[in-house]
Amino acid sequence: MKDTHRIKSIIKNLHEKYPKAKTSLSHRNAIEMLIATILSAQCTDDRVNLVTGQLFKKYLTARDFANADIDKLQQEIRSTGFYKNKAKNIINCCKILLEKYHGKVPDAIGELISLPGVGRKTANVVLGNIFDKAEGLVVDTHVKRLSYRMGLTKNKNPEKIEMDLMKITPKKDWIFFSHALIWHGRKICNARKPLCSSCSLKGICPRLGVRIYV
């Protein structure tokens, strides 16, 4: 089955299984989505949500983050890992938001990825979840793992994987597909022991690199 045909079958299956797939990061607005996604690098969404539950009570706007005491902010986000770089990026990012965008989060991928701490993954998360704009696909550890196992890419670099997926996935499905793959990766196709025997995609997934089927 050609990739373009198989991807449609995969997406149809995921729509049936995860019709409400969406980001797990708690947020109420664009600035919270941006900060939460920056914090999510090398960290679980559950941990980020624990941290932002308190953080977003104290820092409400880009100005609040821009004016934050870096030592205090580091301690407030410490448990998300890489807290020194994340605190520095958050403060500098929000300073630029104030200087160039009147404290608002821009809705263009070029402007987003120019901000400190923001790469394509973060930009795609913000664009998809806040502005409903599909400029690409979110490639996190789950999407990276599943897209390889499903034979949708041979690349390991996230940006190359994203380009491969963009070529075969209908643009209208880009936002949903990323969310659904992440949900499927957490629930079924986990890293160490994927539950292949109970996977609804087992008939169309080549299970590349998978040695143990449970």
User: CA–CA separation, 214 vs 12, rounded Å?
Assistant: 24
User: CA–CA separation, 106 vs 94, rounded Å?
Assistant: 12
Contact predicate 56/91, CB 8 Å: no
Half-sphere exposure (CA, 13 Å, Cβ side) for 179? 19
Give yes or no: 57 in active site: no
Contact predicate 51/77, CB 8 Å: yes
Tell me which of 3, 64, 107, 140 is the catalytic residue: 140
Give yes or no: 64 in active site: no
Query: Of 140, 142, 137, whose CA–CA distance to 189 is shortest?
Result: 142
Tell me which of 121, 144, 164, 173 is the catalytic residue: 121
Give residue 23's Cα distance to chain centre.
8
Q: Which residue has the tokens 């770089």?
A: 85
Active site residues: 121, 140
